[in-house]
Structures are given as structure tokens and as C-alpha cells.
Amino acid sequence: MHGDRWFRLGIGAVGVLLVALVAAIGVELVRESWLSIRAFGLGFWTSRDWDPVSGEFGALPFIWGTLYSSVLALLLATPVALGIAIFISELSPRWLREPLTFVTELLAAIPSIVYGLWGIFVLVPLVRQLEVHTPDWLRALPLFSGPPLGVGMLAAGLVLAVMIVPFTSAVAREVLKTVPAAQREGAYALGATRFEAIRAALFFARTGIIGAVMLGFGRALGETMAVTMVIGNNPQVSLSLFAPQYTMAAVIANEFTEATGDLYLHALIEIGLVLFIVTLIVNLASRLLIWSMNRPPARRRVRAAPAEAAA
Amino acid sequence: MRLDGRQLLSNLFVLACGLSILVALVPLVMILFFVIREGAQALNLAFFTQMPKPVGEAGGGMLNAFVGTLMLTGLAALMAVPIGILAGIYVSEYKGTTLATAVRFAADTLNGVPSIVIGIFVYGIAVLPFRQFSALAGGIALGIMMIPIIARTTEELLLLVPSAMREGALALGATRARAVFSVIVPSVLPGIMTAVLLALARVAGETAPLLFTAFNNRFFSTDPGQPIASVTVQVFTYAISPYADWHRQAWAGALVLVAFVFVCSLAARVVTARVQRRRGGVA
């Protein structure tokens, strides 16, 4: 018994260390951004002036850029990711499943910096061509205004989309696996087409699917290198897909080692703090949704009953 | 054959799903094509064995960066492998306890923290106090990223071990520690090694957490207390530079990174398949 207690204490200490690490990240970020938090308060997040030379620090352009690029990536990636997940888990012949899974995993394994390199030298010139050939009446819209630079929001959204597809599709595949076969068989027995049966399975798995999409969103929010290399790094709030903009992660990566003065550094770390909190919330929410799918079906049915009765 | 609207819609849906596979394949093939075509031009023995040449002089290599990445990932593994495995053991052995739930939650949280934020954290605890960028700080940053991957995989592997094995060891009078370290963990060792390999492959490709921890170094260094070069930061520096020669070097570095990741993923697949086959044979 004695030995068992020491064993538990020993490996328990390692566990505590892991929990303490997460807490320490939060504490350290607050401590290292204190000057900025005190100096600017909430105004930090509503001001759009970022001028380190004159000591003005407003983070709105970075929040805007991060949200814009991530939502754009989400819109582009979600249909493709779900299509892949459905194809692999529901439609593909058995022998093709393994290779396809491997290929999507490979897409997830390619380092961010390689995506960035490809972005700079291959994707950005292609985007520039697209922008140059955009007809004038379209260019008049705020969504496509500005000179055709290549670098900018569109390039960032495209790179991010490619990067989050494998994450979303992997989780969506896992979620689809938890749908009982009876669900699909029931649909087929009622004369459903393939699409209708899969739609029924998707509906059954909806919470988990939303969780998978949110997990991809969380990835996009924190992605740094590839975005830094293609977004143009210009702190402005613009609706235009063609405009060079900036994200929270990118400004930290670019300006951290050049930050002169404590206030500048603290302002950058405050941006990191908010990035930390936002990704924490998004990941937490997505995990709760995915976990709720993995609960035993019997219990789920009981919990779902009142809602059905109400409906 | 009767092809009504519903059937047509269904066929279109199947087609769209198949197309989305192709859509995802386009960037993958494009990236591999360009990385191989551009990278192969600058890839030769000198790339691995020589130091960077000054701007304007052709040739040279990334020897310091390769040694740097090796050292950074080594330091990271030294820190993350024991912590990750032990934390994973705790969560699976004492599952259901408050601490086990908290540890698992912490690991998942850590996994979702953007790598740039980990960089800031390590800057605060390991760079700022010493006023010195260092290889050690870079190793800590990468180590923090490895821990949750190893911990969660270890936990998942251990949960698959049949309870009869644990009960058998305990029935023979083994202590819990003995049962875990001599019977249960060895039975999943190939899986744990795969997880470590994949975690290594992932952090070897990380750039953001190194920017202000390990920083970069134009010179050869193996001193853990000094800034150190890494393949990823070097590729970044070269990629955003205006020199065509450096761009070629960046592509070559990218080719090496992608090849490394590819080999690791493939090796992990092979090991996993072998373990599964063995399991299947026993059952």
C-alpha cells in the first residue's frame, strides 16, 4: 500500500505540473501586459491607431484582421472539409479509405512555414493575377476595392482554409463514426436516397459537426507564420478582400523582437493574452460539443426527450 | 431507368463530396510540386555540411540550422517525453478523479494554445529574467507543445490495454507502480514511441514559438545558453529576404522539412498498422 501511495503522489505531481503550466501561462501573460492594460484599459480594443513611434496602441485592426481571415477561412474550408469527411466515412470504397486519410493527415502535417513559403511565391502571384483580371464593376464594390497587390486578406483566407481543412475533416470523420448504423439503415429502409440518408446522419451528429467546425476556427485564429507571410501586414480595418491587413498573431511575430520600450512590448503581449483567452473559449466550446456526441446514446436519448416533447 | 429529382440531387451530392477531395488535393500536390522542384535545385551535400555564405556569394548550406533544430527538438523531447508519459499514465490509471479530469482538460487546453502565445510565455519565464535568447528557452517552448500530444496519446493507448493484464499483474502481488511500468506500459510501447515521433515531427516544423526564444544565430553554436539557429526560422528569414539565392535555400530547407514530416508520418502509419495487426491476430 505504501508504495502505491508514493506512485500516485509521484505521477500526480506531474499531473499537477501540467495544470499549473496552463494557469502559469495565463498569469504570466497578464503580468507581462500589465503596463498596457493599465494605460489603455478597454480603449485598447476599440482604437484603430497603431503607431508605436508616437506611443499610440490600438488593437482593433488586429482583432478585425484575425476575425476576418478566420471567418473567411471557415467559409471556404467547411464545405470542403465536410465533403471529405462524408466521402471517406460514407461513400468511399473500403480500399481507398486508408490512403485518403493519410493524404489529409499529410496536409495537416506540413509545417506552417512551408505553407507560408508556398503562399509568398506561388499563391500570392496567382491571387494578384485574379485581382488584376477582376472586372471594374466588381472592383467598385467595397469588398474588392484597392490596388491588386496579391498579398492581403484573400491570400491569407485561402492559405488558412487549406490549413484547417484537415483538422475539421478529421474531427468530422470521428463524429460521423459515432452515428449508429441503424440511423442510416432506418433512412434507407424508408426509401431514402443516399443524400437523404447521409443528411439524416449529419443531422444526428450535428452538435459534433459544429464542434469540428469550431475546432478549425480555433486553429485559424492562432495560426501565425503562413498568415504573416501573405496578409501584407498593414494595420487597417478594411472590408476589402484585396487590402493588405494584419492579424493578432502576425503583429506579435513581426514586432516582438523590435519592440522598443516596455509599453510597446506590453501592448503586444496584451494582444497575445486576448488571443489566448479567445482560443481557449473557442476550443472549450468545441470540445464540449464533441464530447457530448461521445456520450452513450441511451443517456442522450433520455436527455433529448423533453425537447422532443416540447416540439 | 427512372431518374427523379431526389435521385438526381443525391447523385449531385455524391459528386460534390468526391470533388471536395480533389479540391483538397490541389494545394497538396501544388505544394509538393513546388517544394520538390524549387528545393531540389539548392539541395546538395554542401547544404547539409556547410555554413551559410554571406549575401551575394552563391552556395553554402544550413549546417548551423540543422544542428540547431536537432538540439532544440532534443531538448524539447528531454523535457516533454517523461512529463507527457507520466501525465498520461496518471489520467488513465486514476480516471474519474478530479485531478485526472483536470489534467486531461489542461492537456487539451494546452494543445489549443496558439504556438506564438507559448513563445510569449517562454519569453517571459526563460528569456526576460536572463536578458538572453537561448537554445534552452527554445527547447522549453517546443517541449511545452509536445507535452499534450504525448500525454493524450499515452492515455488513449493505455485505456485500450485489456484490464485482465492489470488484474493479472496485481494478482501476482505486483505493486501498482510495478504493474504499470513492467506490464502495462511495455505492452503499448510501440504506440507511445509513435506518438513521440509524431510530436517531434510536429515541433520540428514550428517557427512561431522560436522567434523570440531561441531567436536565430548566423554562426555555429551548440551552447544551450546562447541563441541558436533552426531550419524553420532560417527558412522564414530567407523567404522574406530580397535575394534569389536565399529564396532557393529557403525552398531547399522547406523540402527537407516536408521530407522529414513525410517520413515520420509514414513510419507512424507502419508501426500503427503492425500493432493493430498483432492485436487482431491475438484476438
What chain A holds in terms of domains, given with CATH numbers, is 33-310 (1.10.3720.10)
Residues B153 and B179 occupy one common structural domain: yes
Residues B170 and B99 occupy one common structural domain: yes
Residues B115 and B27 occupy one common structural domain: no
| CB spacing of B107 vs A103 below 8 angstroms | no
Residue A304's pLDDT is 42
Cβ A164 vs Cβ A227: under 8 Å? no
Residues B148 and B25 occupy one common structural domain: no
**Binding-face residues of A in 168-197 toward B, CB within 8 A:** 169, 193-196
Contacts of B209 in chain A (CB under 8 A): none
Q: Which residue of B has its CA nearest to A119?
A: B31
| CB spacing of B124 vs A15 below 8 angstroms | no
Residue B277's domain is classified under what CATH number? Answer: 1.10.3720.10
Q: What is the average pLDDT across B115-139?
A: 95
DSSP string, chain B: ----HHHHHHHHHHHHHHHHHHHHHHHHHHHHHHHHHHHHHH-SHHHHHSPBPPTT---B--HHHHHHHHHHHHHHHHHHHHHHHHHHHHHHHTTTSHHHHHHHHHHHHHHHS-HHHHHHHHIIIIIGGGT---HHHHHHHHHHHHHHHHHHHHHHHHHTS-HHHHHHHHHTT--HHHIIIIIIHHHTHHHHHHHHHHHHHHHHT--GGGTTTT---SS----TTS----HHHHHHHHHTSS-HHHHHHHHHHHHHHHHHHHHHHHHHHHHHHHHHHHHHHH-
Residues B35 and B68 occupy one common structural domain: no
Number of domains in chain B: 2
Q: Which residue of B has its CA nearest to A248?
A: B116
Residue B2's pLDDT is 57
Which range of residues forms the domain containing residue B15?
5-42
Residue B283's pLDDT is 35
| CB spacing of B21 vs A252 below 8 angstroms | no
The highest-confidence range among A169-183, A285-299, B117-131, B167-181, by mean pLDDT, is B117-131
Q: What is the average pLDDT across B261-281?
A: 78
Q: Number of A:B CB contacts under 8 A?
A: 257
Residues B82 and B19 occupy one common structural domain: no
Contacts of A265 in chain B (CB under 8 A): none
Question: Which set of grid coordinates corresponds to residue B96?
Answer: 474519474
**Binding-face residues of A in 47-76 toward B, CB within 8 A:** none
More confident position, A27 or A105: A27
* Minimal CA separation from B232 to chain A, in Å: 7
**Interface predicted TM-score (ipTM) of this complex, two decimals:** 0.92
CA–centroid distance for B132 within its chain: 26
CB nearest to A18's CB, from B14, B151, B240 = B151
Average pLDDT, chain B: 91
* Minimal CA separation from B83 to chain A, in Å: 6
Beta bridge mates, A51: A56
State the Cα–Cα distance between residues B158 and B278, nearest whole angstrom: 16
Residues B35 and B123 occupy one common structural domain: no
Cβ B225 vs Cβ A85: under 8 Å? no
Decide: residue A45, CB within 10 A, 0-12 exposed, 13-18 middle, 19+ buried. middle
- pTM (2 d.p.): 0.91
| CB spacing of A117 vs B211 below 8 angstroms | no
DSSP A54: G
CB nearest to B21's CB, from A100, A194, A282 = A100
| CB spacing of A28 vs B86 below 8 angstroms | no
Residues B131 and B189 occupy one common structural domain: yes
| CB spacing of B116 vs A249 below 8 angstroms | yes
pLDDT surpasses 50 at B250? yes
Q: Which residue of A has its CA nearest to B112?
A: A283
Residues B133 and B156 occupy one common structural domain: yes
> What is the tens place of the pLDDT at every residue in A33-90?
999 999 998 889 999 899 988 888 999 999 999 999 999 999 999 999 999 999 999 8
Contacts of B262 in chain A (CB under 8 A): 106, 109
Residues B136 and B264 occupy one common structural domain: yes
Which residues touch A190 (CB under 8 Å, ≥6 apart)?
A: none
Residue A302's pLDDT is 41
Of A45-54, B51-60, B247-256, the poorest mean pLDDT is in: B51-60
Residues B35 and B88 occupy one common structural domain: no
Residue B281's pLDDT is 44
CB nearest to B21's CB, from A11, A84, A117 = A84
Q: Give whole-number Cα distances, A302 to A43, A206, A210, B120, in Å.
A: 47, 18, 22, 46
Cβ B75 vs Cβ B146: under 8 Å? no
Residues B31 and B70 occupy one common structural domain: no
CA–centroid distance for B186 within its chain: 23
State the Cα–Cα distance between residues B76 and B137, nearest whole angstrom: 10
